[in-house]
Amino acid sequence: MSDPRTNDPRINTFRRRLPGVVYGGDYNPEQWPREVWQEDVRLMRAANVRLVSLGIFSWAALEPADGRFDFSWLDEIMDLLWANGIHVDLATPNAAPPPWLATDFPEILSVDRQGVRHGIGSRGHFCPSSPVYRDRSLRIAGELAERYGNHPALAMWHLGNEYHSDCYCDLCDERFRGWLRERYGTLDELNHRWGTAFWSQRYGDWSQVHLPRPVRGWGNPSRELDFSRFTSDLLLELVTRERDLLHGITPDVPATTNFFGCRLTDSHRWAKELDVVAFDCYPDPGKPDSMAVAAFQYDLMRSLGGGRPWMLMEQAAGAVSQWKTNQVKQPGRMRLGSYQAVAHGSDAVMFFQWRASRQGQEKFHSAMLPHGGEKTRTWQEVKALGNELRAVDEVATARTRARVAIVWDWQNWWAVEGCAHPDNTFDYRDTVARHHRALWNSQVAVDVVTLDDDLSPYRVLVVPNHYLMARHHTAAVRKFVEDGGHLLVSYFSGIVDEDDRVVEGGYPGALREIIGAHVREFSPLPAGATVPVRAAPGPTPLDGFLATASAWQDDLETETARPLAVYREGHLAGGAALVEHELGRGRAVYVGTRLDDDALEALVRQVLDRAGVRPAHAAPRGVEVTERRTETSAYLFLLNHRQDKATVTLDRSGTDLLTGRRLQAGERLVLDAAGVAVVRSPPATPQGADRSSDDS
């Protein structure tokens, strides 16, 4: 079976080995005596486990002393797994350097911003610049590839684990200077880019330039931004070095690493270097919006893949152990969350971890097989899901196509949460997640993009709090609108360029002509303060719009735009809070304040409506709807996140893959609380999950 999404022979080899939706998890056999291994494989088979991530934290067990390797146990477990038909996602174990390495070469340990060198006893404690760390971690990766490259169980490479080690040591300092020299060429250019005329920071010699260690007061924001870029690039270098080595030895084996939404690593850039995108997702069962946040992250992963497969590499079978209070997933909710990932394009459902550890930092973290063994509810649900997933194997490789995109950009994340802004409480992740949630509640498919991506497939583009905007981003947004797109952009966007330098000519300098208005003054509101907002007088597409504004007010002056909604009280009473601007064949809506959730959703629905974007299927609130398609079939996912039953009146005939039941158009399909249906039917509309006016 080849993957129609890619011509990459590595993915096609992987698909031939592991067709369908892959089920499994992290497996840490080195924590257990051999007799347990036999029970492990027996139970893995019972649960239809087809892939395990092996060896992620095994460095000390594989190399007990410098250059002395012991692969005997890994040989044995690889053979045992393969004898039971289980494939291996074999890890390079670089995430947890063993004590001998840190003791023999203390410089491999990372240093925090305060200059404190980390100790051993945890993980991720390496300096990414250390030549010794680089050498030893690459050496063991090469040993693994030479030894297991032809092993039939080997299906893919798992590079490290959740890269997130930043470091402030002298080696990194030196490398940062090198990175800057390469980026800027001359000191004059660096001085210009960093705005060092401010506070007498002008550098006269490269030796004066350092990474941002603690300073007396506020640090230079452009330097901070570059240090974030540098750290992401530095860690990515570790990934690409290992990837190149492994591809050299095993050209047919795809390589990935597991993302987890880390602020340090620009996953847009990273994903381009990986064969498969993989993600670890831990929605908090105690938080009401956690499934909406998971949907946002899944949409991001699918979009990062840009046609390559993505895999849910880790999730919890029940509770985690790293939060203050770790709530369980209630009956059926792990299953629901697993189908949610598949509904958003994942071709795998995997867990951390297979068997619950009996010792160590994560012994109370749930696992596929809990301490209580086969009698536990978790195991029963895990086993049932693994077997049930066979029924949806055919959705693997089916694609989602969205007509709506939302912008999420690491570079902006680093910049917008920088220092000394008019408001210093920006939470970019939360802001984008809120906007995505409004789209999720509207039940439309959404891609998560940057302004560097091709925007032409989309009818609607949502740009939340996009403070940092390079000149070519402005051009891309302008073209999107002029070509007929519908833009929704929220406050404090288009303010600075890629050097964190204000774009002059009236805020938002990078967007002023596109929104047809400018901001006379930013006017943040104190915590807890609110201002009522209502539709602007006269006929408006937002008739009857009422909202509560908080956190921020733009004092907007309309130019070629017209007001959509106005503040009702306070020093800006009567002034525009939302404006709309027609440009070329499209339209931009600008939101100059933080709207309450209901109002934001009403606005989003209005924008979708005018753009002619509708959900793939009508469903009651709280029922998530997505669609994946192949050339020959449409797969409609209906996921009931509510606490009660929900009824969906089908607009098509098809077969529910999970029950095998034939369904007729017009039939009322009842979904239990946490219930799921996956309805296969021939595709009625052209490729594209959401129907929009221009393709109906």
Write out the catalytic residue numbers.
162, 314
Neighbours of 571 (CB within 10 A): 10
Residues 57-96 that bind ligand GAL (CB under 6 A): none
The size of the interface with ligand GAL (CB under 6 A), counted in residues, is 11
CB of 570 to ligand GAL, least distance (A): 44
Binding map of ligand GAL across residues 334-353, x = CB under 6 A, - = no contact: ------------------x-
Q: Which x/- pattern, by CB under 6 A, does the window 350-379 give for ligand GAL?
A: --x---------x--x--------------
282 binds ligand GAL (CB under 6 A): yes
Which residues, numbered 177-206, are part of the site for ligand GAL (CB under 6 A)? none
Tell the smallest beta-carbon distance from residue 331 to ligand GAL (Å): 21
Question: Which of 62, 172 has the CB closer to ligand GAL?
Answer: 62
**280/498 with CB nearer ligand GAL:** 280
Nearer to ligand GAL, 249 or 320 (CB): 320
State which of positions 233-262 bind ligand GAL (CB under 6 A). 260
Dihedral (Cα; 501, 504, 507, 511), 10-degree rounding: -90
**Radius of gyration of the chain from Cα atoms?**
26
Q: Which of 3, 224, 242, 280 binds ligand GAL (CB under 6 A)?
A: 280
Nearest distance from C-beta of residue 23 to ligand GAL, angstroms: 18
Q: Which of 579, 484, 493 is nearest to 541 (CA)?
A: 579
**Given the complex with ligand GAL, which of 91 and 536 has the nearer CB atom?**
91
**Half-sphere exposure of residue 138, counting CA atoms within 13 Å on the CB side?**
20
Name the minimum Å distance from CB 641 to ligand GAL.
22
* Token representation of residue 51: 């892939």
Contact residue for ligand GAL among 314, 498, 624, 627 (CB under 6 A): 314
Cis ω before 508 (30° cut-off from 0): yes
Q: How far apart are CA 647 and CA 618, in angstroms?
A: 11
* Residue 666 phi, psi (nearest 5): 90, -15
Least spacing, CB of residue 484 vs ligand GAL, in Å: 42
The stretch near ligand GAL (CB under 6 A) out of 16-24, 32-40, 314-322, 545-553 is: 314-322
Spatial neighbors of 278 by CB under 8 A, at least 6 apart, are 158, 256, 257, 258, 259, 310, 311, 312, 313
Q: How far is the CB of 414 from ligand GAL (least distance, A)?
A: 21
Alpha carbon distance 605, 486 (integer Å): 12
Pick 353 or 593: Cβ nearer ligand GAL? 353
263: its two tokens: 């602020």
Helix (H, G, I), strand (E, B) or coil at 204: coil
Residues 147-176 that bind ligand GAL (CB under 6 A): 161-162
Contacts of 272 (CB under 8 A, 6+ apart): none
Return the amino acid letter for 107: E
Residue 30 in the binding site for ligand GAL (CB under 6 A): no
Q: Which residues of 102-134 are buried (b: 16+ CB within 10 A; e: fewer)?
A: beebebbbbbeeeeebbebeebbbbbbbbebbb
Kindly tell me which of 194 and 282 has the beta carbon lying closer to ligand GAL.
282
CA–CA separation, 130 and 127 (whole Å): 5
**CB of 451 vs ligand GAL, minimal distance in Å:** 29
* CB contact burial 64-82 (16+ within 10 A = b; e otherwise): eeeeeeeeeebeebbebbb
Task: Mark 594-623 with x for binding to ligand GAL (rule: CB under 6 A) and - for no binding.
Answer: ------------------------------
Q: Quote the CA–CA distance of 148 and 61 in Å, as a whole number.
A: 16
C-beta nearest to ligand GAL: residue: 352
> Which residue, 314 or 500, has its beta carbon nearer to ligand GAL?
314
Comparison of 300 and 646: residue with beta carbon closer to ligand GAL? 300
Nearest approach, Cβ of 220 to ligand GAL (angstroms)? 32
Binding positions for ligand GAL, rule: CB under 6 A: 161-162, 260, 280, 282, 314, 320, 322, 352, 362, 365
